[in-house]
Structure 1
Amino acid sequence: MMSKLTIDAARTIIRETLAKAHDMGLKPMSVIVLDAGGHPLAFEREDGAAPGRYAIAEGKAYGAVMLGMPGSAQMARAEAQHYFMTAANGAFGGKVVPVPGGVILRGDDGEILGGVGVTGDTSDNDAEAALAGIAAAGLKGDA
């Protein structure tokens, strides 16, 4: 395992996430990798994916990084305490998309290195593809 998020790792995550999505027979995907500050390192939108998927992918990854919880936990929190996620999203300018497919990237010590946002198919399928891409890059994913 590695404990640093590099541009090469980000490119590997994207390439291998898309490969997993193809193996799974998913719809056209969009994948973004953000650093620990929530800034984009790399993004790719496949042919046939709607242009608005950039904002969705970024929102999934951004919420994971900024809240320190994966999309699945954000969705559960939104269902249990809607007011909290609404307030948090307001604090972040409406950028958070609290559903699966927003995955935290962690180093060996558990430190948050960044986040991955995947969108295009069902949220659970998006998350599964992301985890495969993250593992291929030698990092840990928290979906």
Structure 2
Amino acid sequence: MNALTLKQAVGVVNAALSAGRKINAAPLTVAVLDAGGHLLALQREDGASLLRPEVAIGKAWGAVALGKGSRLLALDSQQRPAFYAALNGLGER
């Protein structure tokens, strides 16, 4: 597996923020982690709420840990709530 570079991570953040602006989304916070779950890039738009960085990092961590995008994780969690509750406890820092 190729390592994600900082330049690539910043590109992902910028693309996500740009996509959010195109659809007039609420202010976004975007986190990009490497394959080991370490934060590479994070940006919080003006007006994003106080806890958004932690939420964005948590969503990204879950996606890396389980190898699934956050949308698929949300659907999966509806089918397996006990598993995700247990996983949530493991991920607390």
Common fold, TM-score beyond 0.5? Answer: yes
Q: Is the 8 A contact 1:32 1:40 kept in 2?
A: yes
Of the two structures, which has the highest relative contact order with CA contacts closer than 8 Å and spacing of 6 or more? Answer: 1
Q: Is the 8 A contact 2:59 2:70 kept in 1?
A: yes
Matched, 1:26 2:19: no
Counterpart-to-counterpart distance in 1, 2:3 and 2:38: 15
Deviation at 1:4, TM superposition (A): 3.6
Counterpart-to-counterpart distance in 1, 2:35 and 2:26: 28
Deviation at 1:12, TM superposition (A): 0.8
Deviation at 1:46, TM superposition (A): 0.7
Q: How many residues align?
A: 92
Identity %: 37
More helix by share: 2
What's the Cα RMSD here?
A: 1.4
Structure 1: which 5+ runs fail to align?
96-143
Mapping of residues 14-93 of structure 1, within 5 Å:
14-93=13-92
Counterpart-to-counterpart distance in 1, 2:91 and 2:3: 26
Deviation at 1:69, TM superposition (A): 1.9
Counterpart-to-counterpart distance in 2, 1:26 and 1:7: 25
Counterpart-to-counterpart distance in 2, 1:19 and 1:65: 23
Moved runs in structure 1, 4+ residues, more than 3 A? none
SS state of the match for residue 32, structure 2?
Answer: strand
More strand by share: 1
Counterpart-to-counterpart distance in 1, 2:71 and 2:17: 20
Deviation at 1:77, TM superposition (A): 2.3
What TM-score, normalized by structure 1, do the two folds share?
0.60
Matched, 1:13 2:12: yes
1:68-118, Cα deviation, whole Å (9 max, x unpaired): 22222222222112111111111222x7xxxxxxxxxxxxxxxxxxxxxxx
Mapping of residues 117-136 of structure 1, within 5 Å:
none
Mapping of residues 103-114 of structure 1, within 5 Å:
none
1:37-87, Cα deviation, whole Å (9 max, x unpaired): 111001000111112100110111000001122222222222112111111
